[in-house]
Amino acid sequence: MSAKPVTIVRTIAGLRAQVAAWRAAGDRVALIPTMGALHAGHLSLVALGRERAERTVASIFVNPTQFAPHEDFEAYPREEAKDAERLSEAGCDLLFAPSVEEMYAPGFSTTVTVAGVSGPMDGAARPHHFAGVATVVAKLFHIVQPHRAYFGQKDAAQLAVLRQMVRDLHFDLEVISCPIVRDADGLALSSRNRYLSPVERRQALALHRALQRIQQSIATGERRSERLLQQGTQEMDTVKVDYLAAVDAQTLLPVDRVEPGTLIAVAAWIGSTRLIDNFLTDLASTTTPELPSAPR
Ligand code: AMP
């Protein structure tokens, strides 16, 4: 039996009318913003959204303002028909797929800049990126007015920026972060993985290896960031590391020692593809190494 086809809406007015009707009926609305080329990671966000909302809205919008001129805006994969099928099977109610002109009317001149937290990590490599992300997500929040919005922990810096924006601008919604979905060999799913050649695909595993090495080292008691990052770097000699960092997950500022909830994050270039990955330290589940017994 085929699933009920997701309703596709392209205009802000159309979207608002539909969500207003749902809200009037007392339904809760979950929003899952994406740039399309959907994979199991995106669909896990839809599944989590459905757990606590009667209605789920996914958006697909390749947002030009978050790409620098030399980046892959034109080449970014666009496959809306397939994505609509995937969303239908996932039980998503509505796909909001506006044009660039619908989202950015002629004369558009307002930008949301989240100072501080937009600067480190991905913000350092992509200086205007998070202003583009914050601006488009602020627009989506105003347009959809969801009760909750779902984002992947994979984009940890993006989450920190958006949480700060929601606090600062008093958006009346809850931001939910969702676990990273990976391929069987550990590579974090990403729409950009399709850019990788078979050789690069193998090289890309270095990111996961580096994080695993750090995780193991934390599990055996190491807490010094410098030492942990050195160990992780040793696993990445086949890729061009952009950053490997131990930071406070909210401020993204570096920490000298890892604590519960410290974010360990990596970005690296594999050929011309930039990939990211991370984990949050969970010291509750780690063991303290046994000290060697003192000589008697
Ligand atoms: P994107 O289409 O890349 O903008 O991603 C849309 C949303 O899906 C963002 O909140 C991402 O963090 C999330 N996402 C992307 N990849 C994954 C993944 N492997 N696991 C979980 N969430 C993901």
Atom of ligand 1 nearest to the CA of 151: 10
- State residue 285's pLDDT score: 53
Q: Which of 38, 43, 45, 207 has most ligand 1 atoms within 8 Å of its beta carbon, as the pocket-test mutant? A: 45
- Indicate whether residue 41 lines ligand 1 (CB < 6 A): yes
User: For residue 206, which phi and psi values (nearest 5 degrees)?
Assistant: -60, -35
d(CA 197, CA 203): 10
Q: How confident is the model at residue 2 (pLDDT cuts 50, 70, 90)?
A: confident
pLDDT digits (tens, 9 = 90+) for 55-90: 999 999 999 999 999 999 999 999 999 999 999 999
Q: Mean pLDDT over residues 188-195, rounded?
A: 96
- State residue 288's pLDDT score: 46
pLDDT digits (tens, 9 = 90+) for 220-235: 999 999 999 999 999 9
- Indicate whether residue 276 lines ligand 1 (CB < 6 A): no
Distance 85 CA to ligand 1 centre (A): 18
Contact between 265 and 200 under an 8 Å Cβ cutoff? The reply is no
- Indicate whether residue 122 lines ligand 1 (CB < 6 A): no
d(CA 29, CA 123): 30
Q: Which residue has the tokens 């992509």?
A: 126
d(CA 25, CA 33): 23
Pick the residue whose CA is nearest to atom 17 on ligand 1: 41
Q: How confident is the model at residue 296 (pLDDT cuts 50, 70, 90)?
A: very low
Active site residue 70: no
**Given 39, 42, 142, 147, the catalytic residue:** 42
Predicted TM-score (pTM) of the model is: 0.94
Q: What is the DSSP letter of 188?
A: B
Q: Mean pLDDT over residues 27-47, rounded?
A: 98
Distance 151 CA to ligand 1 centre (A): 7
pLDDT digits (tens, 9 = 90+) for 193-208: 999 999 999 999 999 9
- Indicate whether residue 130 lines ligand 1 (CB < 6 A): no
